A = this chain, B = another copy of it.
Amino acid sequence: MRSKRQRKTDAIQLRTRATRTIKRHAINRTVNRQSSGAILAELKHRLSEIYDLTAAGSVLTWDEATYMPKGGAVARGRQSSLLRRLAHERFVDPALGRLIDRLEPGTGKLPADDASLIRIVRRDYERAIRVPAEYVARENAHGSASYNAWIWARPANDFAAMIPFLEKTLDLRREYASFFAPYDHIADPMIDDADEGMTTATIQRLFAELRRELIPMVRAICDQPPADDGCLRRSFSEEAQLGFGLSVAKQMGYDLERGRLDRTRHPFCTKFAAGDVRITTRVRENHIGDALFSTLHEAGHAMYEQGVNAAYEGTPLGSGVSLGVHESQSRLWENVVARSRPFWEHYYPALQRTFANQLGSVPVDIFYRAINKVEPSLIRTDADEVTYNLHIMLRFELELKLLEGRLRVKDLPEAWRAGMQAYLGVTPPNDRDGCLQDVHWYFGSIGGGFKSYTIGFQSYAIGNVLSAQFFAAAVKAHPDVSSEIASGQFGTLHGWLTDNIYRHGRTLTPNEIVTRATGSPMTMAPYLAYLRRKYSELYQLPQS
Could you tell me which A residues sit within 8 Å of B by CB distance? 48-49, 52-53, 55-57, 59-60, 63, 67-76, 78-79, 82-83, 86, 255-260, 262, 272-276, 278, 313
Q: Are A52 and B75 in contact (CB under 8 A)?
A: yes
Q: Would you give 12 A-B contacts (Cβ < 8 Å), ordered by A? A: A55-B75, A56-B57, A59-B59, A67-B67, A69-B260, A70-B257, A71-B257, A71-B258, A71-B259, A72-B272, A75-B272, A79-B273
Residues on the B chain within 8 Å of A76, using CB:
272-273, 276
Q: Are B275 and A79 in contact (CB under 8 A)?
A: no
Residue of B nearest to A73 (CB): B275
Per the bound structure, the CA–CA distance linking A249 and B60 in Å amounts to 26
Q: Are B79 and A55 in contact (CB under 8 A)?
A: yes
A279 → chain B, closest Cβ, in Å? Answer: 11
Choose among B53, B69, B79, B276 the residue that contacts A256 (Cβ–Cβ < 8 A).
B69
Per the bound structure, the CA–CA distance linking A52 and B83 in Å amounts to 9
**A63-B63, A67-B260, A71-B276 known; 15 other A-B pairs, CB under 8 Å?**
A48-B78, A55-B75, A59-B60, A59-B63, A59-B79, A67-B67, A69-B257, A69-B258, A71-B255, A71-B257, A71-B259, A71-B274, A72-B276, A75-B273, A75-B313
Per the bound structure, the CA–CA distance linking A174 and B178 in Å amounts to 61
Per the bound structure, the CA–CA distance linking A16 and B385 in Å amounts to 88
Choose among B56, B72, B73, B258 the residue that contacts A56 (Cβ–Cβ < 8 A).
B56
Residues on the B chain within 8 Å of A86, using CB:
86
Per the bound structure, the CA–CA distance linking A273 and B72 in Å amounts to 6
Per the bound structure, the CA–CA distance linking A313 and B72 in Å amounts to 12
A167 → chain B, closest Cβ, in Å? Answer: 33
Given A59-B60, A67-B260, A262-B67, A272 and B79 contact (CB-CB distance below 8 Å): yes
Q: Are A78 and B52 in contact (CB under 8 A)?
A: yes
Residues on the B chain within 8 Å of A71, using CB:
255, 257-259, 273-276
Describe A's contact surface by its main secondary structure: helix
Interface centre among A68, A71, A86 (most CB of B within 10 A): A71
Residues on the B chain within 8 Å of A53, using CB:
82
Q: Are A82 and B49 in contact (CB under 8 A)?
A: yes
A238 → chain B, closest Cβ, in Å? Answer: 15
Q: Are B56 and A60 in contact (CB under 8 A)?
A: yes
Q: Are B75 and A56 in contact (CB under 8 A)?
A: no
Per the bound structure, the CA–CA distance linking A56 and B49 in Å amounts to 15
Per the bound structure, the CA–CA distance linking A257 and B67 in Å amounts to 12
Choose among B55, B70, B79 the residue that contacts A52 (Cβ–Cβ < 8 A).
B79
Smallest CB-CB A-B distances: 6 pairs: A72-B276, A75-B273, A71-B275, A71-B258, A52-B79, A52-B82
Per the bound structure, the CA–CA distance linking A53 and B260 in Å amounts to 26
A5 → chain B, closest Cβ, in Å? Answer: 63
A46 → chain B, closest Cβ, in Å? Answer: 12
Q: Are B83 and A56 in contact (CB under 8 A)?
A: yes
Per the bound structure, the CA–CA distance linking A69 and B246 in Å amounts to 15
Given A52-B78, A67-B262, A275 and B83 contact (CB-CB distance below 8 Å): no
Residues on the B chain within 8 Å of A313, using CB:
75
A79 → chain B, closest Cβ, in Å? Answer: 5
A321 → chain B, closest Cβ, in Å? Answer: 21
Choose among B67, B72, B258 the residue that contacts A72 (Cβ–Cβ < 8 A).
B258
Interface centre among A57, A59, A60, A255 (most CB of B within 10 A): A59
Per the bound structure, the CA–CA distance linking A260 and B66 in Å amounts to 12
Residues on the B chain within 8 Å of A259, using CB:
69, 71
Per the bound structure, the CA–CA distance linking A60 and B276 in Å amounts to 13
Residue of B nearest to A85 (CB): B49
Choose among B56, B72, B257, B276 the residue that contacts A275 (Cβ–Cβ < 8 A).
B72
Per the bound structure, the CA–CA distance linking A70 and B69 in Å amounts to 25
Per the bound structure, the CA–CA distance linking A267 and B258 in Å amounts to 24
Per the bound structure, the CA–CA distance linking A276 and B75 in Å amounts to 9
Residues on the B chain within 8 Å of A276, using CB:
68-69, 71-72, 75-76
Residue of B nearest to A66 (CB): B67
Residue of B nearest to A258 (CB): B71
Per the bound structure, the CA–CA distance linking A46 and B63 in Å amounts to 25
A173 → chain B, closest Cβ, in Å? Answer: 30
Per the bound structure, the CA–CA distance linking A175 and B53 in Å amounts to 32
Residues on the B chain within 8 Å of A70, using CB:
257
Residue of B nearest to A275 (CB): B71
A318 → chain B, closest Cβ, in Å? Answer: 11
